[in-house]
Amino acid sequence: EIVMTQSPATLSVSPGERVTLSCRASQSISSNIAWYQQKPGQAPRLLLYTASTRATGIPARFSGSGSGAEFTLAINNLQSEDFAVYYCQQYNDWPRGLTFGGGTKVEIK
């Protein structure tokens, strides 16, 4: 099973700042990674797939990069609605397997 490790577990930031979240795979997954945002009491929302392609309706301040085993989600000009938990998901073995990272919580400083 491919293990996804996200860091840090929590980020304390101020509105307007830029943040970067990291996700590391236990083996190379090419660009087969997606990112999700989850707010309290809500289902996750798809942000990015194929490492850097934004899903429909996702603002341009969200961007993704990386390939192989190291990936980054960046959020520019952090808005109040961006405070949430972010998960990465690898799908290198699709459809036989999918695994998520443990999540990074972005909280207000």
Binding-site ranges for another protein (CB under 8 A): 1, 32, 34, 36, 43-46, 48-50, 53, 55-56, 87, 89, 91, 94-103
Secondary structure of residue 81 in the 3-state scheme: helix
Q: State which residue, 21 or 48, has the beta carbon closest to another protein.
A: 48
Q: How far is the CB of 82 from another protein (least distance, A)?
A: 19
Write the CB contacts of 31 (distance below 8 Å, at least 6 apart in sequence): 50, 51, 52, 66, 67
Q: How far is the CB of 94 from another protein (least distance, A)?
A: 4
**Run of H or E residues at 77:** none
Q: State which residue, 48 or 69, has the beta carbon closest to another protein.
A: 48
Residue 50 DSSP symbol: T
Q: How far is the CB of 88 from another protein (least distance, A)?
A: 10
Q: How far apart are CA 58 and CA 20, in angstroms?
A: 17
CB atoms within 10 A of CB 8: 10
Q: State which residue, 54 or 61, has the beta carbon closest to another protein.
A: 54
Q: How far is the CB of 92 from another protein (least distance, A)?
A: 10
